[in-house]
Chain A
């Protein structure tokens, strides 16, 4: 990796995003709008004794989940565009290293995710009185790391997609199982053993656990930091695998 080339690539991706105002608007507005829907869905639901209010429990997880799903989609399409427009082929003839490109995407979309998560969190905390024992900053941090994981998985999956049709099919494959098994619908320790085992190897389970720790503890817990490290590690692993599957030469 070369810091100058990495910075140029990150800047280039952010500049592309800036020119696409509609995408920026969608990135910022959609999670907040969906949170509004969730708020009114649960506004009249009773709070089970000894548990957080249903909106608090669900909104907290969604704050981490929105950047994950959106950044996965955005990255898959962005990388596929690099492939189909020929820019990837040209980039691979320049001094740009594969990791410069992949980390460039990770940083650029990670920054976009921070903005997205901050707006969604502001709406959740201020408009809908989201109540967490821990700080909102940690929620945004976890959401951002989640987004970087999504970018990394998107880059990895795009290596196996030749067309847009194939690229979008990876979304249900990668995202849906993680959503179902992350502990939002059924607590993980109440699942069948084999589902728990699957859930244990899915990185999103750890970011949901980290968010739940922020929800229930005033101070950051060791479990939260461990979970965050696992998610970050999974992201780095996916980026390295993406670099390994990105070939300078093709047939």
Chain B
């Protein structure tokens, strides 16, 4: 299987602080990969580096065979920022149609994306009048609308009710089955189990890159949250041991 994303020794500094410290990872095509970690661990910075809007200090980021940010990638990537980035003074439909037009897609595809995120009834509503959860789904519709090969989603399910969350995850898996690669960040560990693969980062370091089953097997616990805690503790014990020796 070809890799959609390859990170090699990725180092990023932001605001005088090292946010990512030498990340090496690959993400295979056609999978749903979860990027998990506590808040402030560098998830958003990693995603920004992938879509080419983050100044990278060192290392390489390769996306679909091109360096991240290459003009060829702009038609092939959908990016959902963590805070909903849609125009509050436009309707849901107008937002979707604008982002569709940027990707060379028509209004039919825009309307389909609005329906896909469950906002058909609110399509004519100004985004400013939507609830927080609806607003982030409006933003998601604008990321889906170009039918991208790679979807980079920064916490897409925050603030959604359980039914909608389940629907969105089902949609993500359907897209992956059709060949789309999805990288989805979350700080909610119960979402980890829904992913094909997991990247766990903590304080800018990658501490796991595996399938949920392998993570469970390696730590000997069934609960992924508990498994991650053990990995973190094992990692810290390892670091402490190195420093002592």
Contact = CB atoms under 8 A, between A and B. Distances in A.
Report whether chain A binds chain B: yes
Interface of A: 4-5, 8-9, 11-12, 15-16, 19-20, 85-87, 89-96, 248-251
The 9 closest A-B pairs by CB, nearest first: A86-B85, A8-B101, A86-B81, A94-B102, A12-B98, A93-B51, A95-B74, A90-B85, A93-B79
16 contacts: A5-B102, A8-B101, A12-B94, A85-B88, A87-B85, A89-B81, A89-B85, A92-B53, A93-B51, A93-B52, A94-B102, A95-B104, A248-B53, A250-B53, A251-B15, A251-B55
Given A95-B71, A95-B74, A95-B102, 10 more contacts: A4-B101, A5-B102, A8-B98, A9-B98, A19-B89, A20-B89, A85-B83, A89-B81, A92-B53, A248-B69
Contacts of A249: 52-56, 69
B78 to A, nearest CB: 9
Interface string B45-63: 0001001111110000000
Contacts of A4: 101, 104
A95 B75 CA distance: 6
B24 interface: no
Contact of B83 (A5, A15, A86, A96): A86
B103 interface: yes
B90 interface: yes
A8 B97 CA distance: 9
A95 B52 CA distance: 13
B193 interface: no
Contacts of B15: 251
Nearest to A95: B74
A78 to B, nearest CB: 10
B117 interface: no
A98 to B, nearest CB: 12
Contacts of A85: 83, 85-88
Interface residues of B, number: 36
Contacts of B158: none
A8 B90 CA distance: 14
A102 to B, nearest CB: 15
- Max count, chain A CB within 10 A of own CB: residue among B83, B87, B142: B87
- Max count, chain B CB within 10 A of own CB: residue among A5, A87, A89: A87
Contacts of B55: 249-251
A4 to B, nearest CB: 7
Contacts of A91: 102
B53 A93 contact: yes
Contacts of A96: 102
A5 B91 CA distance: 19
B7 to A, nearest CB: 16
Given A89-B81, A250-B55, A8 B69 contact: no
Contact of A93 (B13, B77, B88): B77
A251 to B, nearest CB: 5
A212 to B, nearest CB: 38
Contact of B90 (A5, A19, A95, A251): A19
Nearest to B146: A94
B18 interface: no
Contact of A15 (B53, B54, B71, B94): B94
B230 interface: no
Contacts of B172: none
Given A89-B85, A251-B14, A16 B90 contact: yes
A158 to B, nearest CB: 17
B228 interface: no
Contacts of B94: 12, 15
Contacts of A87: 85-87
B81 A94 contact: no
B52 A5 contact: no
Contact of B103 (A9, A15, A86, A94): A94
Contact of B74 (A11, A94, A251): A94
A86 B81 CA distance: 7
A8 B52 CA distance: 23
A16 B91 CA distance: 9
